[in-house]
Amino acid sequence: MEFNRGGWVWELMLTRRPSDTRFSKSSTPGGESPLARDDDNTLVTHAVLFDGTKTALVILGTGVALGAAAMKAAPHVKSGLISLKSKLRHQTEDTAEAESPVPLTVVAEAEPEQTDPPRLRAVWPSATE
């Protein structure tokens, strides 16, 4: 992708340079030179320039495809979130009901269990006495 403006040709490019380098500052304000320098400002190499049009189109196409997929999936995601919210709300209400104290009412008092009284038997005086 290139266009002419103000006597200059502008072109979209991708650059490749070693990861431990940076571009040199250009004399043009806001611009950078394709010279790759290290932290000591030593020239390491030149950056390699590639056509950026295809990459820009791929990025744009991917963005459009992801946007369309998101728009198509949005109603399903929304209904799933509403369902999940409803389930969580019901679960919270059930938990709250289970944790609330249950009032106790006395139906009948049980009397302590009575053991049978000892049985008495008659004893006759013996003839030897």
pLDDT digits (tens, 9 = 90+) for 10-50: 888 888 899 999 888 888 888 888 888 898 989 999 888 88
- pLDDT score, position 73: 84
In b/e form, how buried is each residue of 49-71, taking b as 16+ CB within 10 angstroms?
eeebeeeeeeeeeeeeeeeeeee
- 11: its two tokens: 């072109």
pTM more than 0.85:
no
